[in-house]
Amino acid sequence: MRPLSNQQKYLSMLGLAMRARRLSLGEDQIIKDIKRNEAKLVLIAEDTGYQTHKKLTDKCKFYEVDYKIICDRDSLSIAIGKSGRVAVAVLDEGFAKKIASLIDQK
């Protein structure tokens, strides 16, 4: 049995965070959570449209919220069990740190 790749590991962690209700979905909700300082980490799919990508990264930079560009939207959607998602905000500090460390190990 092959060990899991880091991408598989952080996507599994995202699934756990989703089941624990520690993710925020939808562009408007993610921006609200960034402004309220509830978002600890924002994950944006690499194939997100320019407008959405710019809006989310600008908000993260302004409010000093860490963000990462990750896999494609299909992999992200499958990991959280919701279709058509291009971004999520992690609302839990523990999940955010673990997911960020797995992404950085690429």
pLDDT in tens, 26-43: 999 999 999 999 999 999
Alpha helices in 3-105 (DSSP H): 6-19, 27-35, 50-62, 73-80, 93-104
Confidence (pLDDT) at 105? 85
Q: Return the amino acid letter for 57.
A: T
Confidence (pLDDT) at 17? 96
Write the CB contacts of 7 (distance below 8 Å, at least 6 apart in sequence): 70, 71, 75, 106
Confidence (pLDDT) at 106? 61
Domain 6-104 belongs in CATH node 3.30.1330.30: yes
Nearest to 10 by CA among 86, 80, 82: 80
What is the per-residue burial (b if ≥16 Cβ within 10 Å, else e) of 27-48? eeebbebbeeebbbbbbbbeeb
pTM over cut 0.75: yes
Confidence (pLDDT) at 45? 96
